[in-house]
Structure 1
Amino acid sequence: MESERIKTHIIDLLLDPNNYRFIDRQDYKAVPNEDVADTRIQQRTFNFIAGKNNENISDLIISFTTNGFLDIDQIQVKKVDDKYLVLEGNRRITTLKYLYDEFEKGNDVGKLVENDFTNVNLVEIKDEDPVQHLITMGLHHISGKKRWNAVNEAQLIYDLIYTHNKQENEVCDSLGISKFALRRSIRTLSLIKQYKESDYGDQFLPPMYTIFETVVGSPIMKEWIGWDDEEYRATKDANVERFFSWISRSDETELTDNGEEVKLKKDPIITQYRQIKEVASFITDFKAINRMEESRSIAEAYSFSDAIGEAKLRNAIENIKGSAKVAFNFNEFMTPSDYEDINNVKLKLDALIPMQQALILINEKKAAKYFEAVKNQFSTFHIEQYRKLKNIDVSNIKRINIFAGGNNMGKTSMLEAFYLLSQLNDINTYFDLEKYRGKFSNEFHSVWMDKNFISDIDLSGKFNDSSTSLKIKTEATEEDIERTGYLSTIISEAIVADSIFTSSMHLYSNKEPELRFTSSRILCKSAFTSPYRYNSSLLQTAHTSAVKEGYFEEVKNFIRKKLDPSIKNIELVSEAGENRFMVSTENAEKPIDLTKYGEGLQRVFEIALLLGYCRDGILCIDEIDSALHKSLLIDFTQFIQEMAEKFNVQIFLSTHSKECIDAFVENEYPDDDLTAFALTEENGKILCKYLEGNKLKQLVESINLDIR
């Protein structure tokens, strides 16, 4: 490649608009040779290189004004008409152009003099070899000290191989890089090109390069996306599209109760390359992946994953086996204190298997019911202490029990109290309530739980003609446990007749809580539903129960008759490991996700399913009228009363709507088994007063009574 040293004025130099330094920019477009001298093209190129407020050349500005222009590295150019296009040294020429403009304005340019601008030393390349030019740039910006962004480096390597047909060994030898680095760059750029061809392609930014690089560097992720090293392309289209959605922003449209469309923007789930390793650890666990997409949280999916839990268990068992073998081989060195330590470990190992089995039962809400049969549920109830409710007796409890009152009167707390007592020493029930109270969508930290346990809980009542009670308190345990990071212990003690059931949860600041219990029982099957809480697994379980018992048709018929006659069917559909309720309707060719319907229909669907699920138990419905139009209340309240009798379910519900209370009274269902309670405050104390169904009906009809 022939070259010649020349000098020329700074104004005769053209910046290269196709420089590799910024080909990764979203607004970059390749410029034909005949347009490179265009004034607008040159200004845009200057802005690209200099950056906002010259931030990309600020170091050179300081260097040139302090030390002058030091002609150390060659500035290579080629002739373009009567000017010269800069091939190598675009950032330095951009800096000189900026300082020349300052010089012309009479501003201080430090040690630079006019000759630095009028006689710039250059090397003119004649008969340019494009391959050699790329290699020269690669030596400067890939192997050398003046590194480009990784995506620019990969693009140059890619062009040498696929545009100029160079062999891998030639490129490696020319640039001084390994074949591993070369192939990693090509794989990464190929996956990026696939991303750019997708619906999310306009969101690519250079910092995302390391995310793609980590994916093609992970054997597990490569297998999951179906990476083909012959075609340099991911072949499992569904998984690839799913991965692209995780690293991208998305826009979703939802309908409000008024039928108005609301657009929601969701941020990417994965924003850093380090997160790829976490996702790879549970990528084959469909449940964990679905949980990640629902919660938009990698941490929640990680903790939810069966694969992660199993891996931790296997690792722990292997550690125990290895440590036990070492201890056995060197047992001659044991001292009396060592025997004590070993004995404590043995006690924990003895308790390990039954405790783990019990944990699974608790977590899956399969704790055994205390009563084989339930004729009648709660007949009396006493709250000695629960949140702001203190020393309250609730008597004359019927099948349908309405709690009404103004804001902050303790309506939700009243329902939670019934629900807690029904679940006896299932301490996870209390933790679930606290999670929703604290507005945590996912897991929450033990430190928060420890700080926010404000007061003991003391509940009692008569259920199925048997006395029952529940006390939950916190204290420092006297057990021999690991004390590092220990915070406190929450203890739950339940009594039914003469049987006592206890459980405890040790809280730590540095590890997961530890659950301990000898036996776990519940009074009956129960559920707590609120417009502010959603439990998809419970709803799916309730659906399964409704289908098996033939009750699901009644739910759909009520929705068709009272809410939307166009609905043909509602089905629980599993696709790619994710379960969703899909609605077939006469107005649409394809089934529609239930969540696309209004909150009112979803609320009716949930409550109706839970009525059957809670057979022979209790159902607590918070803010029952939320999202329901008043025209539906009479029919829906009658449906609730009919199903509650059919399935022997005792209902506790809250409302602040007079129309809702009126609906229970005015519907055609008998009011003999209906009681309404008014929660009021007098002298700082919450009081609970009741009115029976028939008496309530008389008062509502005669004086339009509002018990709120």
Structure 2
Amino acid sequence: MLRDLTIQNYRCFKDFHIDDLARVNLIVGQNNSGKTTFLEAIYLLVNEGNIPFLFEVLNSRGEITFERSRQRNGEVVSRRYYYHILHIFYGHQLNNFDRAIDISSTKEHLLSLKIQPNRILQQLTLPGFEDLVPTGELVAELVISYGQYTPIRIPIRTDRTGDWRYLELGNTSQLVVPTRSSNQNYFLTTTNRNFQQLSLLWDRITLTPKEQSVVEALQILEPDVERINFTSRQTSNSGILLKLRGQPHPVPLGSMGEGMRRILSIAMAAVSSENGFLLVDEIDTGLYYQTQTDMWRLIFETAQRLNVQVFATTHSWDCIAAFQEALEQSEDSSVGKLFRLSRRGEDIRAVEYTPDQLSVAVRQSIEVR
């Protein structure tokens, strides 16, 4: 479990530190205060700087372009992907090659990730990239160092103008770097997971005790849910079926609103993150405020039972009030904490609210967002 986190030169964080993290952490703050970036930094760190997770972060931001490479009989045979890495560096600048991204945790578990751009004066041949970077185009490399592991080197190049402001990362689909950790970590954005992603999660849950936890989560919104199942293929009604008490036929999840799909995604990811990390951006998306206290109770219980550390963000006062209520009802009030990211110019700092302080703030309607 992370007890502290330091982020340097990653997106909006020039030099940021947060301490005394809890089992479940709710992150609040104004727009552009760094909440989503904070989750991304944790995601990259706990996944050991693995390249596919960096690509996932870039893709979720839309920092990617596609280029049709070849055509045969009028059809696209292959496609090249270009990931724009410029924007992951503080100030959107890579003019200083000595400025590296550093993300680390030093308490309880020693974790350290460094992403360093290096200038290259000659063409390099890197395994897996022989056909991806034509001779003469390679002008730099991205070096990803994690702990004592051998650094991963990725070639990068400029756009056709050679302007460093438009650094792009070439197609690396041929490079597969398996994660070095057996832990499962999940990052849920505001976009719900699709049928294929959920069905892969369900394969690990079905016919285990975790299945009942998912059903109990769905019962927060619909008390008559008895069972859940996935069809062999996606249908126009989502391919996810629910058995409701008193109903002779299964009901498609897609007919029951976005809140049901959101709580399903959260519950499935939570029980699948055993001994790992669950990150949820705008956790209250699609959820009616009166159900959010039950959601937080479920998250507290699951996090403690399965050794999951949770980081979630919100803009909603209702979500904060529900978090405080569930925390107050918990046997161990130290299970959760609220942190506000406060930004002043280039400086971003974390303001911690203890359970007692949060309780006073909620009762007296003191703004903490």
Residue 356 (structure 2) aligned to one of 681, 685, 694: 694
C-alpha deviation, 1:691, in angstroms: 1.4
Is residue 2:309 matched to residue 1:665?
no
Distance of aligned partners of 1:544 and 1:413 in 2 relative to their CA distance in 1, 3 Å threshold: same
Amino acid at match of 2:152: S
Describe the SS at the equivalent of 1:672: helix
Amino acid at match of 2:317: K
Distance of aligned partners of 1:594 and 1:600 in 2 relative to their CA distance in 1, 3 Å threshold: same
Amino acid at match of 2:57: L
Partner of 2:103: 459
Task: Note the 1:140-539 alignment, pairs <5 A.
Answer: 377-438=1-62, 446-449=81-84, 452=87, 454=92, 456-462=100-106, 465-477=108-120, 479-480=124-125, 482-483=134-135, 485-486=137-138, 488-495=140-147, 499-507=148-156, 512-513=171-172, 520-522=179-181, 524-532=183-191, 534=193, 536-539=195-198
Check the 8 A contact 1:450/1:488 in 2, yes or no. no
Distance of aligned partners of 1:597 and 1:402 in 2 relative to their CA distance in 1, 3 Å threshold: same
Q: Deviations over 1:490-517 (max 9, x none)?
A: 321111xxx2242233357897327669
Q: Deviations over 1:356-380 (max 9, x none)?
A: xxxxxxxxxxxxxxxxxxxxx1011
Q: Deviations over 1:317-347 (max 9, x none)?
A: xxxxxxxxxxxxxxxxxxxxxxxxxxxxxxx
Partner of 2:303: 644
Describe the SS at the equivalent of 2:112: strand
Is residue 2:211 matched to residue 1:546?
no
Check the 8 A contact 2:279/2:312 in 1, yes or no. yes
Partner of 2:97: none
Check the 8 A contact 2:63/2:83 in 1, yes or no. no
Check the 8 A contact 1:665/1:693 in 2, yes or no. yes
C-alpha deviation, 1:654, in angstroms: 0.4
Check the 8 A contact 1:569/1:584 in 2, yes or no. yes
Check the 8 A contact 1:383/1:459 in 2, yes or no. yes
Partner of 2:282: 623
C-alpha deviation, 1:425, in angstroms: 2.7
Check the 8 A contact 1:400/1:641 in 2, yes or no. yes
C-alpha deviation, 1:530, in angstroms: 1.7
Distance of aligned partners of 1:576 and 1:606 in 2 relative to their CA distance in 1, 3 Å threshold: closer
Gaps of 5+ in 2: 68-78, 94-99, 160-168
Identity between Structure 1 and Structure 2 (%):
23
Gaps of 5+ in 1: 1-376
Partner of 2:340: 678
Distance in 2 separating the partners of 1:512 and 1:439 = 13
Amino acid at match of 2:252: D
Distance in 2 separating the partners of 1:516 and 1:699 = 50
Check the 8 A contact 2:65/2:81 in 1, yes or no. no
Distance of aligned partners of 1:516 and 1:541 in 2 relative to their CA distance in 1, 3 Å threshold: closer
C-alpha deviation, 1:542, in angstroms: 2.5
Task: Note the 1:28-107 alignment, pairs <5 A.
Answer: none
C-alpha deviation, 1:452, in angstroms: 4.7
Partner of 1:558: 217
Distance in 1 separating the partners of 2:289 and 2:235 = 38
Check the 8 A contact 2:35/2:341 in 1, yes or no. yes
C-alpha deviation, 1:594, in angstroms: 2.1
Distance in 1 separating the partners of 2:66 and 2:267 = 26
Describe the SS at the equivalent of 2:297: helix
Q: Deviations over 1:436-495 (max 9, x none)?
A: 1017799995445256553542201136x2321111233345633552554643321111
Residue 571 (structure 1) aligned to one of 229, 241, 248: 229
Check the 8 A contact 1:677/1:690 in 2, yes or no. yes
User: Higher relative CO (CA 8 A, sep ≥ 6), structure 1 or 2?
Assistant: 2
Distance of aligned partners of 1:698 and 1:451 in 2 relative to their CA distance in 1, 3 Å threshold: closer
Describe the SS at the equivalent of 1:696: helix
Distance in 1 separating the partners of 2:20 and 2:297 = 21
Amino acid at match of 1:462: T
Partner of 1:321: none
C-alpha deviation, 1:652, in angstroms: 0.5
Check the 8 A contact 1:506/1:515 in 2, yes or no. no
Amino acid at match of 1:467: L
Amino acid at match of 2:230: L
Describe the SS at the equivalent of 2:151: strand
Distance in 1 separating the partners of 2:61 and 2:43 = 14
Distance of aligned partners of 1:449 and 1:607 in 2 relative to their CA distance in 1, 3 Å threshold: same
Q: Deviations over 1:285-343 (max 9, x none)?
A: xxxxxxxxxxxxxxxxxxxxxxxxxxxxxxxxxxxxxxxxxxxxxxxxxxxxxxxxxxx
Q: Deviations over 1:172-225 (max 9, x none)?
A: xxxxxxxxxxxxxxxxxxxxxxxxxxxxxxxxxxxxxxxxxxxxxxxxxxxxxx
Distance in 2 separating the partners of 1:621 and 1:642 = 17
Q: Deviations over 1:239-278 (max 9, x none)?
A: xxxxxxxxxxxxxxxxxxxxxxxxxxxxxxxxxxxxxxxx
Distance in 2 separating the partners of 1:531 and 1:663 = 19
Amino acid at match of 1:638: R
Check the 8 A contact 2:63/2:84 in 1, yes or no. no
Distance in 1 separating the partners of 2:265 and 2:177 = 34
CA-based RMSD: 3.1
C-alpha deviation, 1:564, in angstroms: 1.6
Residue 582 (structure 1) aligned to one of 227, 237, 241: 241
> What is the TM-score of this pair, normalised by structure 1?
0.42
Amino acid at match of 2:143: I
Check the 8 A contact 1:505/1:515 in 2, yes or no. no
The structure having more radius of gyration, on CA atoms, is 1
Q: Deviations over 1:22-66 (max 9, x none)?
A: xxxxxxxxxxxxxxxxxxxxxxxxxxxxxxxxxxxxxxxxxxxxx
Partner of 1:289: none
Q: Deviations over 1:593-651 (max 9, x none)?
A: 32332111111111011111100111001101111111101111111111111111000
Distance in 1 separating the partners of 2:252 and 2:178 = 41
Amino acid at match of 1:639: L
Distance in 1 separating the partners of 2:339 and 2:234 = 47
C-alpha deviation, 1:587, in angstroms: 7.4
Distance in 2 separating the partners of 1:666 and 1:518 = 43
Describe the SS at the equivalent of 2:337: strand
Distance in 2 separating the partners of 1:420 and 1:506 = 19
Higher strand share: 2
Distance of aligned partners of 1:467 and 1:671 in 2 relative to their CA distance in 1, 3 Å threshold: same
Distance in 2 separating the partners of 1:418 and 1:512 = 25
Distance in 2 separating the partners of 1:409 and 1:518 = 32
Check the 8 A contact 2:24/2:336 in 1, yes or no. yes
Check the 8 A contact 1:501/1:519 in 2, yes or no. no
Distance in 2 separating the partners of 1:563 and 1:516 = 42
Count of residue correspondences: 326
Amino acid at match of 2:316: S
Distance in 2 separating the partners of 1:447 and 1:483 = 17
Q: Deviations over 1:146-168 (max 9, x none)?
A: xxxxxxxxxxxxxxxxxxxxxxx
Distance in 1 separating the partners of 2:63 and 2:224 = 36
C-alpha deviation, 1:676, in angstroms: 0.9
